[in-house]
């Protein structure tokens, strides 16, 4: 065995590698500061207020409320050197900018019995409170800060995985990553929320808003903030983040080179730059050679303008997958003007003709989207870019679009694949995991 001598330079490099990203006074690479060290520029004030109500106000109404709330905020918020201080009262300081997929670094220091938090996309909240306060222990304060406390009682992420709060008088360090509604939180370098769906407090039946502001809640005691740094996540990084969780059991369906392992209309598809692409003017079903019962499929797709395709779920291999398979999940450039008058059950992510998906969560034109589809029994769940846009039991489907029967909806197994409709829609990183007895 050769003994290793740790030189001072190596020790310094190791300490930097393990230090928190936010340890420096300057923002880490790729981040920008939300504090200028002088005043509240870049911030507005807003109390606990439904973002949908805010969006519905006229510009004049929003301006009037903003002026009123900011006047109140200046009585309770101030800069103290490089620290942003609130006395425990007043409306919440709210970023003027909205954020979609992003990473937030923030330090805070508070006092006993105080209760605060951070709203993400205008939605409550990453919880900050006193883990020793007997009045809040019944609510779960003894689990510590960092949880998504406004999630439903049994929902993942509501309570932090570990108690990671520092003693009062010391600074706490939060790192938050949010991709769609998927939220991970580290408190003092400990993972306290792992890739949990942040539920929409304002409307439990809808996904979290696509974008929204960051709000610093005030609630009952002084809290100090510093080193508030944020960066937008590039699409490739956001998609990799979504694909990187719960990896066990997934197997690739596409090798990135050719159509080995696929059957059906293979002449109508091609492999270009590591992606399966439907040839323009061609179509038909490209299906997995294997059949699947209960499974989870993950993939990325990219749509050309007005692009139209679909995912065949439990297809028998013949017939129109929208009717002969369990369903065809729409893959569609939903916001293109060509499709402004469709039935709601025809837009992206919908079980065609049977169950409508939530709209508004596709990435901008030309970017790759990440989608996960879970099929268990008669239930089907679609998560697009970190947002659950469909969660339906097709056994309950009875009102079919145009009154057309769907004889395949009760199928328990079949092929998985693509249902082209003449547009060069692309798919890549296609993988599947069998569930239950299918494993």
The 10s digit of each residue's pLDDT in 5-53 is: 233 333 333 333 334 444 457 899 999 999 999 999 999 999 999 999 9
* Residue 7 within any structural domain of the chain: no
Whether residue 190 is contained in a domain is answered as yes
**Does a structural domain hold residue 131?**
yes
Residue 8: inside a domain, yes or no?
A: no
What pTM was estimated for this model as a whole?
A: 0.92
Same domain, 163 and 289: no
Please tell me whether residues 119 and 195 are part of one structural domain.
yes
Catalogue the E-assigned strands of 40-140. Answer: 43-46, 77-80, 83-86, 92-95, 102-110, 115-120, 123-129
Q: How many CA atoms lie within 13 A of 382 on its CB side?
A: 28
pLDDT at residue number 434: 98
Domain with 29 in it: 16-233
Same domain, 129 and 197: yes
Query: How many alpha carbons fall within 13 Å on the CB side of residue 270?
Result: 9
Is the domain of 306 the same as that of 429?
A: yes
- pLDDT for residue 383 is more than 60: yes
Is the domain of 303 the same as that of 395? yes
Query: What's the token pair of residue 439?
Result: 């494993």
The CATH number given to whatever domain includes residue 120 is: 2.60.120.560
Q: Residue 298: what pLDDT?
A: 98
pLDDT at 18: 38
- Sorting pLDDT into bands at 50, 70 and 90, what band is 220? confident
Whether 254 shows a pLDDT value over 50: the answer reads: yes
Among the candidates 233, 266, 297, a domain finishes at 233
Q: Residues 84-133: pLDDT tens digits? A: 999 999 999 999 999 999 999 999 999 999 889 999 999 999 999 999 98
Residues 268 and 220 in one domain: no
Judge whether 3 lies within some domain: no
Task: Quick: pLDDT tens for 292-336.
Answer: 999 999 999 999 999 999 999 999 999 999 999 999 999 999 999
Q: Is pLDDT at 3 greater than 50 in this prediction?
A: no
Per the domain annotation, does 378 fall within a domain? yes
**What is the signed CA dihedral for 323, 325, 329, 330, rounded to 10 degrees?**
-40
Residues 393 and 264 in one domain: yes
Q: Among 380, 408, 382, 405, which residue's Cα sits nearest to residue 393?
A: 380
Q: Are 150 and 85 part of one and the same domain?
A: yes
222 shares its domain with 254: no
When divided into structural domains, the chain yields a total of 2
> Residue 426: inside a domain, yes or no?
yes
Residues 182 and 102 grouped into a single domain: yes
Q: Is residue 4 part of a domain?
A: no
Note whether 74 and 149 are same-domain residues: yes
- 132 lies in the same domain as 245: no
| Nearest Cα to Cα of residue 434 among 292, 232, 338, 309 | 292
Question: Is pLDDT at 271 greater than 90 in this prediction?
Answer: yes
């Amino acid at each position: 065995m050769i003994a290793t001598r740790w030189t001072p330079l190596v020790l310094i490099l190791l300490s930097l590698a393990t230090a928190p990203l936010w340890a420096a006074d300057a923002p880490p690479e790729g981040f920008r500061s939300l504090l200028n060290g002088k005043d509240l520029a870049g911030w507005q004030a807003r109390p606990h207020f439904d973002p949908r109500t805010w969006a519905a106000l006229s510009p004049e109404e929003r301006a009037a409320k903003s002026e009123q709330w900011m006047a109140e905020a200046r009585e309770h918020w101030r800069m103290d050197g490089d620290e942003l201080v609130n006395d425990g009262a007043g409306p919440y300081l709210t970023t003027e900018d909205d954020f979609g997929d992003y990473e937030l670094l923030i330090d805070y220091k508070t006092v006993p019995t105080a209760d605060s938090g951070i709203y993400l996309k205008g939605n409550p909240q990453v919880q900050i409170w006193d883990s020793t306060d007997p009045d809040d222990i019944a609510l779960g304060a003894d689990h510590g800060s960092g949880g998504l406390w406004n999630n439903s009682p049994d929902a993942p992420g509501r309570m932090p995985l570990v108690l990671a709060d520092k003693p009062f008088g010391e600074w706490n360090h939060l790192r938050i990553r949010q991709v769609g509604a998927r939220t991970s939180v580290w408190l003092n370098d400990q993972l306290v929320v792992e890739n949990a769906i942040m539920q929409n407090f304002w409307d439990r039946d809808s996904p979290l808003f696509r974008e929204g502001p960051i709000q610093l809640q005030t609630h009952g005691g002084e809290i100090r903030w510093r080193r508030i740094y944020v960066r937008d996540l590039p699409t490739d990084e956001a998609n990799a983040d979504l694909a990187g969780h719960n990896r066990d059991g997934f197997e690739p369906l596409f090798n990135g080179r050719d159509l080995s392992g696929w059957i059906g209309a293979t002449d109508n598809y091609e492999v270009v730059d590591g992606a399966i692409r439907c040839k323009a003017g061609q179509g038909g079903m490209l299906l997995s050679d294997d059949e699947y019962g209960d499974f989870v499929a993950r993939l990325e797709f990219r749509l050309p303008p007005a692009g139209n395709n679909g995912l065949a779920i439990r297809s028998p291999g013949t017939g129109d997958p929208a009717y002969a398979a369990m369903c065809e999940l729409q893959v569609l450039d939903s916001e293109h003007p060509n499709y402004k008058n469709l039935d709601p059950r025809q837009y992206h992510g919908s079980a065609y003709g049977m169950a409508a998906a939530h709209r508004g969560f596709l990435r901008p034109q030309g970017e790759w989207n990440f989608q996960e589809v879970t099929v268990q029994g008669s239930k089907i769940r679609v998560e697009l870019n970190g947002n659950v846009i469909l969660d339906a039991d097709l056994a309950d489907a009875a009102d079919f679009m145009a009154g057309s029967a769907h004889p395949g909806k009760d199928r328990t197994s079949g092929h998985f694949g693509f249902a082209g409709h003449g547009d060069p829609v692309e798919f890549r990183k296609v993988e599947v995991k069998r569930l239950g007895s299918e494993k």
